[in-house]
């Protein structure tokens, strides 16, 4: 693997990924680590344009076109931002990666998990995270959180509960298949408790003591 540390956060919409990414980044920076926080889609200038299409385009986007757009964003993002940061020995904390494509396009859009995973790995030239934090939350509870936020839903957030149930099941299947890479967390736990669990796992990766 690379000299740096690559951490991704996954989970359904409303699971609290952004909050935990921010808290983890602040903790690592306090330890003196250089942290790059990023996201997919939209982590590069090219990605910002792709993000607008895949999440906010008003017309129809076919499932295969959607999957290819996410793969294009990923190829640009990994090549120009993530790999260079890892080569410098930095910690990359990323909101969504290839597991989201497998869950949302592979299962949610019913394109097939193996096909979407192969496409994503090709786009990223095989790069996998050192650690993937899966914030697991029941789709009904997630929808309640999104409604409370009073924000405009994007194309994926606006999908029905059946879609989000397939996405959640796919994430859990991915975690069960790669337990050494995934840390599955109950996203209904208090924010501070989740942050502590995450810090413990990251500290172990870095060989640090929390005492």
CA 103 – CA 106 distance, rounded (Å): 5
- Fold designation for 5-206: Rossmann fold (3.40.50)
CB 17 within 8 A of CB 169: no
Helix (H) or strand (E) holding 131: strand 131-136
Residue numbers of the chain with a pLDDT score lower than 50: none
Residue 2: predicted pLDDT = 61
Residue 211: predicted pLDDT = 67
Does pTM top 0.85 for this prediction?
A: yes
CA 90, distance to chain mean position in Å, is 18
Residue 139: predicted pLDDT = 86
CB 136 within 8 A of CB 11: yes
How buried is 42 (Cβ within 10 angstroms: 0-12 exposed, 13-18 middle, 19+ buried)?
A: buried
Task: With CA atoms as reference, report the closest residue to 91 among 32, 6, 24, 22.
Answer: 6
């Amino acid at each position: 693997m690379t000299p740096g540390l690559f951490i991704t956060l996954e989970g359904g919409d409303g699971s609290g990924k952004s909050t935990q990414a921010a808290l983890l980044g602040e903790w690592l920076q306090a330890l003196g680590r250089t942290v790059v926080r990023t996201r997919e889609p939209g982590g590069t200038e090219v990605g910002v344009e792709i993000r607008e299409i895949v999440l906010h385009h008003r017309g129809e986007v076919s499932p295969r076109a959607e999957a290819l757009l996410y793969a294009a964003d990923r190829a640009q993002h990994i090549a120009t931002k993530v790999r260079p940061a890892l080569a410098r020995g930095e910690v990359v904390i990323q909101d969504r990666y290839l597991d989201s494509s497998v869950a949302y396009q592979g299962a949610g859009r019913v394109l097939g998990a193996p096909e979407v995973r192969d496409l994503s790995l090709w786009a990223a030239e095989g790069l996998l995270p050192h650690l993937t934090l899966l914030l697991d939350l029941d789709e009904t509870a997630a929808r309640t959180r999104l409604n409370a936020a009073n924000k405009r839903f994007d194309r994926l957030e606006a999908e029905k509960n059946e879609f989000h149930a397939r996405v959640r099941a796919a994430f859990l299947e991915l975690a069960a298949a790669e337990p050494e890479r995934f840390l599955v967390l109950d996203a209904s736990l208090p924010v501070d408790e989740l942050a502590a669990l995450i810090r413990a796992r990251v500290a172990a990766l870095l060989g640090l003591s929390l005492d």
